[in-house]
Every structure is written in C-alpha cells, then in structure tokens.
A = this chain, B = another copy of it.
Amino acid sequence: MQNMQNKQIPDIVVGRLPSYLQMLKRLKTAGETNTSSKELGLKLEISAAQIRKDLSHFGEFGKQGTGYSINYLIECLEDILHVNKVWDMALVGVGFLGHAIANFQGFNHHGFQIKCIFDVDPSKIGQFVAGHIILDISELEKVIRKLNIQVAMITVDADNAQDVADKLVRAGIKSILNYAPVIIKVPSGIQIQYINPIIKLQHMTYYLK
C-alpha cells in the first residue's frame, strides 16, 4: 500500500477519505463489524460507486458480496491518512474560539493532540487553558521547533492571522487549520485548510425560499 501512495492521488479524493474513516469509526462504536459501499454511501450521501472508486486508488479493501471489514478498513485508512499515530498541534489565539478549541475532546480520538498554546495578550500569558499554560507568542518559534510540531491551528482574529501564519511557517509548521475569516498565503509545500461557516450556510440557503 505504501507503494501505491506514490501515485498522484487527486486531492479531492484524499479530502473524502477522512469522512469515510469517521463514519467507519461511528459504525464500529455502534457495534457493527462489516459494511458496504452502499451503506457508507447512504450514510454519507455519496454514491456507492464514488466510494469504491475513491478507495480503489489505494488498493483492494472489500469483497464483492461481503463488503468491507470495518476494523480492517479503519486500519488501512488510518495508515493512508497517517493518523495511525498522534500528531502534536500548536494552537495560537486564546479568545472564546481558542478556549473552545483547546477544550474540544474530539481531537484525541482521531490522531491529534494540542501540545502548546500561544497568545499575545500579557494578561493571558501564564494562565492555564485546558491544562496547558498559555505561552507568549514571542516563544512560538523556539517552542514549536523544540517540540518538532508540524500541525497548527489559528484562532486569532482576521487582522493577525497572516502574521501568525508567517511565524508558524518560520517555526517549521507544515499544515495549518485556519479559523480566522481571511485567506492566508503560505509558501508552496505548506498546507492550509479553512473552517468557514459562511460557505456551509450559503450552501444551505440555496435550497431555501
């Protein structure tokens, strides 16, 4: 399977795999042991053919008729997505949103843990949030390099997000999840994803009268 990953897989396919993995984990939690592209498709509102085609980029995971072993497919998808390990993350910005993210329990079960938290506000630095001491953003580069962290989340306001992203990239961060409502420029080779509620809301109002 490692070899198959050397092929260039369309990013849109990669982007659907985490949804498959999450649904498989939900089915496992519900006590299921086997599933099918049809069942996954119904639950995810994606066609069964699409799911089979997406997975076929990475190998053969199921059998005609018997479908997929949930445990095996979870293991394979975790390998493919590199979440068969736990990624340390940095969080920058401890406003209400940063507080909420710092306290979010969902990361730990899906391959992520917050390792360090930064803010610029002297009244916050040295305080604790979700068991982490809030560090001065001036220490960001040193700390992230020392801890060898590659993933970061930005929860500062829009005006400061680009500056924070630049600092993160200089510190060696490779993947940024940005909650600030602003487009961020990153050098080639650095990944950025956005949490964007407007996109989701406007998608739905299309169907409203």
A residues near B, CB below 8 A? 11, 14-15, 17-19, 21-22, 26, 45, 80-83, 87, 89, 95-97, 99-101, 103-107, 110-112, 150-151, 153, 174-175, 177, 181, 183, 191, 193-209
Contacts and interface: CB of A to CB of B under 8 A. Distances in A.
A18 B45 CA distance: 20
A177 B195 CA distance: 12
A99 B96 CA distance: 6
Contacts of A17: 202-203, 206
A111 B208 CA distance: 13
17 contacts: A14-B203, A17-B202, A18-B201, A26-B183, A82-B209, A83-B202, A89-B201, A96-B97, A96-B103, A105-B181, A106-B181, A110-B201, A111-B205, A175-B201, A175-B207, A193-B200, A193-B201
B110 A100 contact: no
B103 A208 contact: no
